[in-house]
A = this chain, B = another copy of it.
Amino acid sequence: MDPLRLTDLHGSLADPVLAAMEFLNEVAHRYPEAVSFAPGRPYEEFFDVEDLHRYLRTFHRHLVEDQGMDAAGARRTLFQYGRTKGIIHDLIARNLAEDEAVHVDPESIVVTVGAQEAMLLVLRALRADPHDVLLAVSPVYVGITGAARLVEMPVLPVRDGPAGVDLDDLTAAARRARAAGLRPRALYVVPDFANPSGATLDRRLRSELLRVAADEDLLILEDNPYRLFGSTDDRPPTLKALGGDRVVSLGSYAKTGFPGARIGYAVADQPVDVGDGRTIPLADQLSRLKSMITVNTPPIAQAVIGGLLLEHGHSLVKANTREIEVYRRNREQVLDGLAARLPDAHRLGVRWNSPAGGFFIVVTVPFPVDDALLERSAREHRVLWTPMHHFYGDGTAMPHLRLSVSLLTPDEIDLGLDRLAEFITDHARQAGT
């Protein structure tokens, strides 16, 4: 048949947001010998295939011994079509109670294929007509922007500012949208060690954010994949803990468990008035949508994450003691290594932030950073990173690049920093002349 035309397919396919990830993967593929500070992937040295088998057996035993299933029932749970909202919702609820002192009805949890599906579900539900828009703290994770493109929901940026979110700008953005005839439905925010900014909202700002959200009648979509990867002694409460049903939690076990299970969830305990005086939880509406997207999340994948939770007393803090230490070590090595290799950073116009947790560090440089420059960095300096413009979505070069510290070993970090310092110094000097 004649070729289809891209212009006859959905507009999201021509969107730079959807193309960005492919470009970044493709560059990495072409320069396999480059050291990569690009991907936000978890550390992989601790992965062990035997764990998969053990987690599966642990979860199977849980079905029989704790849930009282007979052998046929346990088999059916793993092999057959099943509950659309998932089979480890109770374990997730216990995980939230254990690690976050957040107490939710397991029935308000929808287990999803990664947090990505949870984002799509919530945006699909909230985007009722073309007037509905999403607010998002900018710079922003491309997954939420991409999901919004798929449901044709505009995303209006809110400035992050030094504290993580600029509340005046939030209020102004919401009111500007309403004045333009739009209906802002929710604010997407990553309150702890955000991707890409590394910013964390302090406790007071969290409370003020919730107050503004109430004033402006916005839901908060709280995404929090990196929260555990900092000091666990002084974490402020989650927005969900503080805000109750003002907040939809978007959860992910990709970093605290492993990405290959693709298990995420939404906690959606918001009441929905379905007429005739009845309310049902938003989770049940998301479930209805999910039945037309993935039917249910693969029980086998749920089972391995279930087993992991069971083996660690439902605590991901306990399950990640080694990883938390690796990420702390890597962050310090990168921060110390940048300082050691760029002693004249200030004079060169180079600086970087120092997040207390998470995977990401942002380096500001005295030259514009675009995809062509990443290509040169890969070719000439054999080091990869992520141009920050991808997190703003408009393709305009910005003087920032994101370093991810999660995946590399100490030797790789040292080698990569040598190359990165050389790249930055060369280009900063050219920019200065």
Contacts and interface: CB of A to CB of B under 8 A. Distances in A.
Nearest to A286: B13
Interface of A is mostly: helix
Given A53-B56, A56-B52, A301-B301, A292 B149 contact: yes
Interface in A89-143: 113-114, 116-117, 120, 124-128, 143
Contacts of A149: 292
B78 A52 contact: yes
Contacts of A79: 44, 47, 258-260
A270 interface: yes
A150 interface: yes
A12 B294 CA distance: 16
Contacts of A292: 12, 18, 116, 120, 143, 146-147, 149-150
Contact of A288 (B5, B19, B245, B271): B19
B53 A75 contact: no
A56 to B, nearest CB: 7
A8 interface: yes
Contacts of A74: 49
Contacts of A49: 56, 60, 74-75, 78
A298 B301 contact: yes
A146 B287 CA distance: 13
Interface size class of A (residues with CB under 8 A): 35 or more
A13 B125 CA distance: 8
25 contacts: A1-B214, A1-B244, A1-B270, A3-B279, A6-B285, A8-B128, A9-B126, A9-B128, A10-B125, A12-B289, A13-B125, A13-B288, A22-B288, A22-B291, A44-B75, A113-B298, A114-B294, A116-B295, A120-B292, A143-B292, A146-B291, A150-B289, A260-B300, A298-B301, A301-B301
Contacts of A4: 270-273, 282
A246 to B, nearest CB: 5
Residue among A1, A116, A146, A275 having the largest count of chain B Cβ atoms under 10 Å: A1
Contacts of A172: none
Contacts of A8: 128
Given A75-B44, A289-B18, A301-B301, A1 B245 contact: yes
B3 A272 contact: yes
A330 interface: no
Contacts of A21: 291
Interface in A200-228: 214, 219
B146 A298 contact: no
A48 interface: yes
A262 interface: yes
Contacts of A285: 6, 9, 13
A289 to B, nearest CB: 7
B143 A80 contact: no
A76 B60 contact: no
A249 interface: no
A245 B125 CA distance: 34
A254 B294 CA distance: 12
A39 interface: yes
Given A48-B75, A79-B258, A293 B117 contact: yes
Contacts of A125: 9-10, 13
A150 B126 CA distance: 12
A127 B150 CA distance: 11
Residue among A6, A53, A245, A300 having the largest count of chain B Cβ atoms under 10 Å: A300
A361 interface: no
Contacts of A56: 49, 52-53
